[in-house]
Amino acid sequence: MSTHVIKFEACNLLAGRAPVGCAASICGHSEMDNYYQVLGVSSSASLQELKQVYQRLARQYHPDKTPLSNATSRFVAVSEAWKVLGNPELRRQYDAAWVQRCTAQAQTVQDCVSVEEFDMMADGRRLFPCRCGAEYQLSSENVKFRVDYLSCPSCSLSIAVLYS
């Protein structure tokens, strides 16, 4: 098992913890989707394994093929997961974002902040001030994957990011 996979699996354990100081019921926090969990595979799954699982689930949940009430939402979730995990570069970005998310979630959550409250920079990054004087940075990849926790680069605080 590679170091990367070990880190990812360790983050999956952390992801089950409730964020300290930020109850979802209070701030409306929604979690970043775990695409591996959506497809029901481990983070070490090969591209071929991912493709086979995607094809099976896409057939199972295709709205034209099943009468299940949640078929459309499951089909959309499975398709979104495959779109990211089936592309090696997007998968690498997603895995890095997931590890960052899990690291931030394990720290003390200072606040719940809407993505709209971040200042947009010319290079596409979004910044939000930390009480220590540094800034939380939300990259375009973070937004794309809906990273829901960010760590301050200077102190031990983190924030929960809210998406509308």
Q: What is the pLDDT of residue 19?
A: 38
DSSP assignment string, the chain: --HHHHHHHHHHHHHTSPPTT--HHHH---PPP-HHHHHT--TT--HHHHHHHHHHHHHHH-TTT---TTHHHHHHHHHHHHHHHTSHHHHHHHHHHHHHHHHHHTSEEEEEEEGGGSEEPTTS-EEEE-TTS-EEEE-HHHHHTT--EEE-SSSSEEEEEE--
Is a pLDDT exceeding 60 seen at residue 27? no
Number of domains the chain is built from = 1
> What's the chain's Rg over C-alpha atoms?
17
> How do residues 36-81 score in pLDDT, each as one tens digit?
999 999 999 999 999 999 999 999 999 888 888 888 899 999 999 9
Residues 92 and 32: their CA atoms lie apart, in Å, by 16
> How do residues 135-161 score in pLDDT, each as one tens digit?
999 998 888 888 888 989 998 888 989
19-24 mean pLDDT: 39
pTM summary value = 0.66
**CATH label of the domain that carries residue 24:** 1.10.287.110
Backbone angles phi, psi at 88, to 5 degrees: -55, -40
Rounded to the nearest 10 degrees, how much is the dihedral formed by the CA atoms of 130, 137, 30, 38?
Answer: -150
Measured from the Cβ of residue 80, the count of other Cβ atoms closer than 10 Å reads 13
For the ranges 11-15, 18-22, 34-38, 66-70, the one whose mean pLDDT is highest: 34-38
Q: What is the pLDDT of residue 30?
A: 57
Residue among 153, 102, 96, 109 nearest 127 (CA): 153
Residue partners of 131: CB distance under 8 A and separation at least 6 = 110, 157
Domain that holds residue 12: 3-162
